[in-house]
Amino acid sequence: MQMFEVKAKVVDGAILPAYQTDGSSGLDLTSYEDGIIDAFDVKLVRTGLFLEIPNGIEGQVRTRSGLALKNRVIVLNSPGTIDSDYRGEIKLILMNLGKEQFSYRKGDRLAQIIFSQVMKVKFKVVENISATSRGVGGFGHTGI
């Protein structure tokens, strides 16, 4: 497992992301504020966290499975990408798919972030691309 350093600026009272177990791949992101998300509504939630991610790495903000199962709260654009050149505050786009309001408090774990290496590509324009057994079969073509 490769380790790399991410510089973090943490607003007073904000919580640095943390792994909950040795086997965790995601670090929990917490709220910097108290708030409510109405049923079927979307809210942008502050974390009080600013990151300097190394070039060639991206941060992916994802839903916490327990929050989704128990409260039906998800990261709407999951995974949300944080590019290495972004320097603004990390904010969570959360949606409440439940029938009741969802209340959260400062310090609540509301999402997780995973870091991945990024591959850059260069496109080569060609007349034809190779055939496969799938071909042009699209959504649901395998019967699932």
Extract the tokens encoding 30.
Answer: 């917490």
Q: Domain 7-117: which CATH class?
A: mainly beta
> What global pTM score does this model have?
0.87
Residue 3 has pLDDT above 80, yes or no: yes
Mean pLDDT of 78-101: 97
| pLDDT for position 143 | 65
- CA gap 134, 131 in Å, rounded: 8
The domain ranges of the chain are 7-117
Half-sphere exposure of 139 (CA within 13 A, CB side): 0
| pLDDT for position 89 | 98
Q: Render 102-131 in DSSP notation, one character per residue.
A: EEE-TT-EEEEEEEEE---------S----
Give residue-wise pLDDT tens across range 102-124: 999 999 999 999 999 999 999 99
